[in-house]
Structure 1
Amino acid sequence: MSDEPEPHPEPHPDPAPPAPSPDNTRWTGAKAMAFLKALAQHGKVARAARSVGMSRQAAYRLRARAPNFADFWDGALVEAARRKELARQARAPVHPMLARVRLPQPPRPSAPPPRAGERR
């Protein structure tokens, strides 16, 4: 045993309560605006939802219950389509052989009639 008294620990002030963690399960106004901005950029619902930490299904549920959000969603999709069309027009034209649209084909010449004694 030692003759020295045990040192008393210094009293610690109560620690500050932990900061609340962000609730990634709920939509906020900021999340909705960021979602709509992303949706207007590329028109992909799942990608826009992931960009704000939400699921595609959560986005559709919010759309179903919030008519103003649904209106802005529709506007964002129109903007995305406009951007896509502008980007398409800005690209160099595609060679006709590589185009996705089938070009009209000239009529093929008909086969000459068989000669006497020839088989087809």
Structure 2
Amino acid sequence: MRVPYEYAVIQAVPRIERGELINVGVLLYCQRHDFLAARTHLDESRLLALDPSADVPAVRAALDSWEATCTGGGASAGMKLGERFRWLVAPRSTVLRAGPVHMGLATDPAAELERLVGLLVR
């Protein structure tokens, strides 16, 4: 049975003032399956094309923290999955941000997350 899920593309914006971005991951939340996960993929050459001085290790560390937040790491330890998702997709002016939230239907949220990463990021 297909169930609803929400997802957002994780974007890297290495120079906020220019507004240029690349997709670096997908965040997917499915309440019915108690599922929240982020899958990331950083194409260093694309990031450096936007900003040759981008701090690639710092961007990778920040992406790792998004994945850790999904699993309850750090400050998100006491939060419910939906709260973590809303926290991650909240508007922010940083190098990493979530794009608009979209909805979909899927039978397997984990497989759908992998499909979306292949389609939107890789």
TM-score bracket for the superposition, by shorter chain length: under 0.3
Q: Which one has more relative contact order, counting CA pairs under 8 Å at least 6 apart?
A: 2
**Rg: which structure is higher?**
1
Structure (1/2) with the larger helix percentage: 1
Structure (1/2) with the larger strand percentage: 2
